[in-house]
Structure 1
Amino acid sequence: MNHQQIDTTTANSYLPMVSVVVPIYNGEADLPDLINCFTSQTYPRERVEYLLVDNNSSDRTFTFIEKFSANSSITIHPLSEKQIQSSYAARNTGIKAAVGEIVVFTDADCRPQPQWLNALIKPFVNTEIVIVVGEIVALPGTNLLEKYADRQETLSQKHTLAHRFCPYGQTANLAIRRTVFDQSGLFRPHLNSGGDADICWRILRSNLGSLEFAPEAIVQHRHRVTLKELASQWRRYGRSNRYLHELHGVELMRDISLKEVGYRLARWLIKELPRSSAKAIAGRADLVDLLNTPISLFTARARAGGQRNAKLPEEAKTIEWLN
C-alpha cells in the first residue's frame, strides 16, 4: 500500500523540462487556435518551451510566430527550416534547439486538450519508458467524409500501436526522451512520409527503451472534407508503407484490383444498399452506413495506388544526427 502511495506521489511531482516541437507550413490560419491550446495547458508554464518551426511557408506563418512569441504568456521560440521542405527536417531543427528532457511533437492543425502535456509526460517517471504515445480524436464534423472517418477512427493511435511489425505513434501526438536521439539519430530529413514509424522502430528495435500509451493525453485533429483531400491522405498512407517496406522490410499491403472493386460494388448495390436503406427508413442507419462500402473502396484504391507508384529516394535513407 505504501509502495503505491510513493509511486503516485513521485509521479505527481515529476515535472521535467519539456520541449514541444511543431513543424508548420502555411499555417497562419491555425496558429491562433494552436497557441490558445498551448496557453491552456495545465502543465507548469515555466517547465515548457514551444519550438514553432516554419518550414519555408509562403504565407505569414513566421511573422505570426514572431508576434506570438513577443506577446504570449508562454515561452515560444520562432525557428525556421528553409533548406529542406519536409516536416521531418523541421522537427529535427526543433530537436536540435530543444533544451527539454522530453521532446513532444504535435502539428499545427492539431488541438491539444488542457491535460495533454500532464498526461503525456507522467509515464516518463519510469526511466525505462522512452516513447509515450497520446491519443488523436476527431474535431466535431458535419461533412459526410468527416463522419465516415470518425466512424472508422481513422486517426486513432490504436491502429499504429497494433501494427504487426512493431508499434509506433504518429507525430501528431508523440513524446520521446531526448537522450535516446544520441543513439537512434533524428528523423530522416528527406523522407516525406512514414518518418514517425521509422524513428519509433529504430528506437524500439535497438532496445533503447519501451513505449507506453497515454490515452488521456488527447489532441483533436480535423478529418478531410473533400474526396481530393481524402485520396491524398490515403495515397500518403500507401507511400508510407512502400517506404517502410524498403527501410525495414515491412510487408506490403495487398493491392486491390478493379475486378475486386467491381465485385464488391455489385454486392453493395444488390445486398448491402437495400438492407441499409431499410434500416435508414426505420431510423437505425444514416448516410455513412449507406455509403460505407464505396467510400472504403475509394480509400483502398487510393492507398494501393500510393504504394504501387511510390519509390523511396536514395537521399531519404539518410538519418540526421544531433552531433
Structure 2
Amino acid sequence: MAGQSVVRSGGRPPVSVVVPFYGSARDGEAVGSALASISVQRDDELIVVDNTPEGRLASLPRDPRLRVVAATAEQSSYHARNVGAEEAASEWLLFTDSDCLQPESWIDDYFLRPILPDCGIVAGAVASAAEGATLVARYARSRGHVSHGHRAAGERRIESFARPAGITANLLVRRAAWDAVGGFHEGIRSGGDVEFCWRAQDAGWRLEAREEAMVLHVQPTRLRPMLRKAVRWSAGRAWVNRRFRGMSPPPKVIRPLGRCAAGVAVWTLTGQLERAVFKAIDATMIASAAAGYCLSNSPSSGSAGRVSESRRSPTARPSVTIMTDAFPALSETFVANEALALRGRGHRVRVEASIRPARPLREAVRQLDISYLEDDSLVCKALSLGWLLGRHPIRSVRDRANRKRWAEQEDVWPLRSLGPPTRRLVRGGSEHVHAHFAALAALNAMRLSALTGIPYSVATHGYDIFQKPRNLAEKHDSAAFAVSDSEYSVAYLRENLGAGNGDRLHKLVLGVDGERFRRRSPYPGGRSVLAVARLVEKKGLRHLLEAAANLQRRAPLDRVRIVGGGPLQAELEEQRRRLGLEAVVELMGPRDPDAVIELLEQTDVLAMPCIVAGDGDRDTMPVVVKEALAMEVPVVATDEVGLPEVVRPEWGRLVPPADGAALADALDELLSMPREQRVEMGRAGRSWVLEHCDIASGTETLLALIKSSGGAR
C-alpha cells in the first residue's frame, strides 16, 4: 500500500467501469444506453464484459466510449469481472451490474471526498429503482430488495453479515487492492463480492462507504426471477460461511414462517389483501433462502459435468487426481505446474482442493479442472454420503472408527465431507490420487484410498515434515509410494519413519519449465538483489536486511527487492526503517509468476538465506532457486536444508545460516565480479538446471512411479 497518493476532489484519477453481461442482445443495448449517459473524462473506460457463451454483444453497434470484451471460459459474473479488470488500464476499477441504472455524475460522486492511501475499497449505495406496477414490483420496493438480496449499505454493514462489505452492484476498488488479493474468486455464482471485501480487509486494506455515489437497481417484476435470486444469494451466503466459519449463519426459518402465517391471517381478516399477499410472498422468500442455503453455489453443474466430459474421451490417457489443500496458491506454483505437465503428457488431470487460497493464481484456475471441497453443498454431501454408505458400508464404518486416532494429531473432516470427492473419484475414473503436503490433503487421500481402493501417493515439502508431522508415519505407510524434493528431506524421512518405507520413498525433483524461465534480455550487470519468499521466519529475510545494511557502509547495493507476503511484513518494515534502508529495500508484496520472471530479468543475484525456524519449520528445496538459475541469475544461499544440492561454486555461493555478515560478503563477492564472469556463471547454472531439474523429466519419473504402483497405466 506504500506509495499510493491521496485522491482528492477536483482532480479525480481515471476510472475503468466494468459491467458483466449475461442476457439478450436487447438487454445489451439497454446496458449500452445506460452507460452512455454517465459523465466520463478522457481517460475513463467503460468496459462491458460479454459472459454469454455465443457472444451476443458481438453484433451490437459500437459506441466509441464503450469497449466490449469476451469472457466465455465460465458463465460466472465474477469470472467476467476479473476479465474486465485484467483488460482495464486505470488505477481504479468501478464495478456495477447490468441491471443497474447510474446517474450522470456517478463516477465523480465517488471522489467528492478524499480517499486515503490505505483505502482499497469504496462501497457505493444501492437503492431500488421505482419501476414496474406489478404486485411483485410493489412488494420488492416495500421490502427494499437490491442485487444479491442486500439492502443499501451506506455506512451500515450489509444486512445479515458480521463484517463491513460492499456489493458489486456499486463497488469502487483500487487496482493495487484487487491485485493484492488476486481479484474475485471464480467458479461461484454469488457471495464473491462480500468474500472479496473480507479478504482485502484481512490483507490490510480499509473499506469506506460513499452514500452519495448511488445506483438504482431494477427489481424483478415477476415472482419466479425474484425467488431464483433469493436461492442464488442464499447459496452464496452458505459458501461464504464455509470460508469464514460462523460469519454467515443459516437463515432462520420456523419463527419467520410462523409470523408470515399469522400476518396472512390477520391482514386477510382485516381486508388488507395486498399486505396479506406480501406476507405470503415473504414466506416463499424465506423458504427459497432456506433451500438455497443447502444448494450448490457453482455456476453450472460443477466438476461432475466436467468429469463426464473427460470420461467420454476415448483417446485420453488414464486419469490422475491431485489432492491439495489451498489451491492454486501463489507460493506453491509447483503444484499447478505439475498438473499442467501431466496433462501435457496426455493424462486426464483433476484437482481436488480443500479451499481456495487467499491470493489465487487465476491462470491456473482457468487452465485446470478443479473441484473444491468448500463448494460441496449440504444436499451434495447428504446424497453422496448415502451413496457411499450404500456402496461401501464396512469401509465407511472402519473410517469412522479410525477418526479418533487421527484426531489426536490433526483435525479430521467428517465422512459426509468426503462423500462428494469420493463420488467424483469413482465416477471420473481416477486411477491414482497424488497428494501434495502430508497435511489435510494427504489424510483425505489416505481415507479416500481406503474407501475406494484407488492407490494414492504423497509428496512432502517442508512444514509437513519438520514443523507439523501429523500422522506422518501412517500417511507414508498407507501410500503406494511417497516423494520429497531433496536428498536432505528424503534422508530425514528415512531416518525418522523407519526402514520399512525406504523402498517406497523417493526423491522427486520439482522441476522448472526451461522454455518459460528463459532470459530474454541481457544480464543487467549491476548490484541489484532479489528475494522471492513468504515473509516467515524460515526464509531468513531479516538476515538479508542485515546484509544490506552491512554493505551500505562499504559497498552499497543498487536495490534489494523482496517479493512475497506473510506474517512478518510489519516486522521487516520496522527493521528496514531502523536500519535506514527505505531507499534501498523494497517490500513488494506477492507477485504472480510472470511478474517474478520479469523481476528475475532485472536482477543480478537471487538471495535465499533459509534457516531452521525456532519451531523446527524449514524448507526442503525452494523452487525459485532453480527458476533463477534457469534465468541465468547467480544465487547466494545458506548451506541449509537442500540448498547445497543445487547451489554450487560455479554459479553461486553458500554461507552459514543466520549470518548477515557472511551473507553480505558473499553478495559483495559475486556483485564485484566483472559482468562477463557473472554471465558465464548464469549460463552454467542454467545448463545444470536443464539437465537435472527439468519439469519434463520430473513428470516422467512421477508417471513411472504411478505406473509401478498399479495406477495410471
- TM-score scaled to structure 2, two decimals? 0.39
* Other-structure match for 2:213: 217
What whole-Å deviation, never above 9, does each CA across 1:1-32 have from its counterpart, x for those lacking one? xxxxxxxxx83323201111111112422333
Greater radius of gyration (CA): 2
Extract unaligned runs of 5+ from structure 1: 1-9, 281-285
* Other-structure match for 1:283: none
* Other-structure match for 2:633: none
Quick one: which of 105, 109, 113 aligns to 2:99?
A: 109
**SS of equivalent to 2:239:** helix
Whether the 8 Å CA contact 1:14–1:122 is kept in 2: the answer is no
Report the alpha carbon displacement of residue 194 of structure 1 after superposing the two structures with TM: 0.7
Within a 5 Å distance, the mapping from 1:37-48 to structure 2 comes to: 37-44=34-41, 46-48=42-44
Report the alpha carbon displacement of residue 123 of structure 1 after superposing the two structures with TM: 4.4
What whole-Å deviation, never above 9, does each CA across 1:184-211 have from its counterpart, x for those lacking one? 1111111111111111110112222x22
Quick one: which of 129, 135, 151 aligns to 1:144?
A: 135
CA distance in 1, matches of 2:125, 2:159: 13
Whether the 8 Å CA contact 1:88–1:188 is kept in 2: the answer is yes
Quick one: which of 135, 157, 161 aligns to 2:152?
A: 157
Q: Which moved more, 1:310-319 or 1:213-222?
A: 310-319
Within a 5 Å distance, the mapping from 1:291-302 to structure 2 comes to: 291-302=277-288
Quick one: which of 8, 13, 16 aligns to 1:11?
A: 8
**SS of equivalent to 2:168:** coil
Whether the 8 Å CA contact 2:230–2:285 is kept in 1: the answer is yes
Tell me: CA distance 1:271–1:162, structure 2 relative to 1, closer, same or farther (3 Å): closer
CA distance in 2, matches of 1:133, 1:148: 26
Tell me: CA distance 1:309–1:34, structure 2 relative to 1, closer, same or farther (3 Å): closer
Q: Which moved more, 1:120-129 or 1:169-178?
A: 120-129
Q: Which moved more, 1:291-300 or 1:162-171?
A: 162-171
**SS of equivalent to 1:305:** helix
CA distance in 2, matches of 1:256, 1:52: 39
CA distance in 2, matches of 1:114, 1:309: 39
Whether the 8 Å CA contact 2:189–2:297 is kept in 1: the answer is no
Tell me: CA distance 1:18–1:251, structure 2 relative to 1, closer, same or farther (3 Å): closer
CA distance in 2, matches of 1:52, 1:152: 30
The answer on 1:196 being equivalent to 2:193 is yes
The answer on 1:233 being equivalent to 2:215 is no
Whether the 8 Å CA contact 1:51–1:77 is kept in 2: the answer is yes
* Other-structure match for 2:183: 186
Whether the 8 Å CA contact 1:28–1:59 is kept in 2: the answer is no
The answer on 1:100 being equivalent to 2:90 is yes
CA distance in 1, matches of 2:98, 2:39: 19
**SS of equivalent to 2:9:** helix
Tell me: CA distance 1:102–1:269, structure 2 relative to 1, closer, same or farther (3 Å): closer
Report the alpha carbon displacement of residue 113 of structure 1 after superposing the two structures with TM: 1.0
Amino acid at match of 1:83: A
**SS of equivalent to 1:211:** strand
* Other-structure match for 1:24: 21
Q: Which moved more, 1:188-197 or 1:123-132?
A: 123-132
CA distance in 1, matches of 2:177, 2:113: 16
More helix by share: 1
CA distance in 2, matches of 1:59, 1:40: 24
Q: Percent of aligned positions with the same letter in both sequences?
A: 24
Report the alpha carbon displacement of residue 225 of structure 1 after superposing the two structures with TM: 1.9
Amino acid at match of 1:202: R
* Other-structure match for 2:494: none
Whether the 8 Å CA contact 1:135–1:219 is kept in 2: the answer is yes
Amino acid at match of 1:92: N
**SS of equivalent to 1:13:** coil
* Other-structure match for 1:131: 121
CA distance in 2, matches of 1:266, 1:42: 48
* Other-structure match for 1:309: 295
Report the alpha carbon displacement of residue 117 of structure 1 after superposing the two structures with TM: 0.8
Report the alpha carbon displacement of residue 237 of structure 1 after superposing the two structures with TM: 1.7
CA distance in 2, matches of 1:79, 1:26: 15
Amino acid at match of 2:284: F
Report the alpha carbon displacement of residue 222 of structure 1 after superposing the two structures with TM: 1.6
What whole-Å deviation, never above 9, does each CA across 1:18-65 have from its counterpart, x for those lacking one? 111111112422333332332322342x0311121111344632222x
What whole-Å deviation, never above 9, does each CA across 1:256-301 have from its counterpart, x for those lacking one? 24x973x4454234433323x2xx5xxxxx72x2322211111000
Quick one: which of 265, 268, 274 aligns to 1:273?
A: 268
CA distance in 2, matches of 1:311, 1:31: 25
The answer on 1:79 being equivalent to 2:69 is yes
Amino acid at match of 1:88: Y
CA distance in 1, matches of 2:108, 2:248: 36
* Other-structure match for 2:322: none
Extract unaligned runs of 5+ from structure 2: 1-6, 303-351, 363-590, 593-713
What whole-Å deviation, never above 9, does each CA across 1:224-252 have from its counterpart, x for those lacking one? 22221121011112101110011111242
May I ask how many residue pairs the two structures share in their alignment?
295
CA distance in 1, matches of 2:201, 2:84: 22
Amino acid at match of 2:70: S
Report the alpha carbon displacement of residue 214 of structure 1 after superposing the two structures with TM: 1.5
* Other-structure match for 2:202: 205
Amino acid at match of 1:274: L
Amino acid at match of 2:226: L
Q: Which moved more, 1:147-156 or 1:171-180?
A: 147-156
CA distance in 1, matches of 2:260, 2:127: 30
Whether the 8 Å CA contact 1:132–1:212 is kept in 2: the answer is yes
* Other-structure match for 1:60: 56
The answer on 1:88 being equivalent to 2:84 is no
Amino acid at match of 2:197: C
Amino acid at match of 2:145: T
* Other-structure match for 1:5: none
Which structure has more relative contact order (CA 8 Å, sep 6+)? It is 1
Whether the 8 Å CA contact 2:9–2:111 is kept in 1: the answer is no
CA distance in 2, matches of 1:320, 1:23: 21
**SS of equivalent to 2:74:** coil
Amino acid at match of 2:122: V
CA distance in 2, matches of 1:93, 1:164: 27
**SS of equivalent to 1:199:** helix
Amino acid at match of 1:201: W
CA distance in 1, matches of 2:289, 2:240: 14
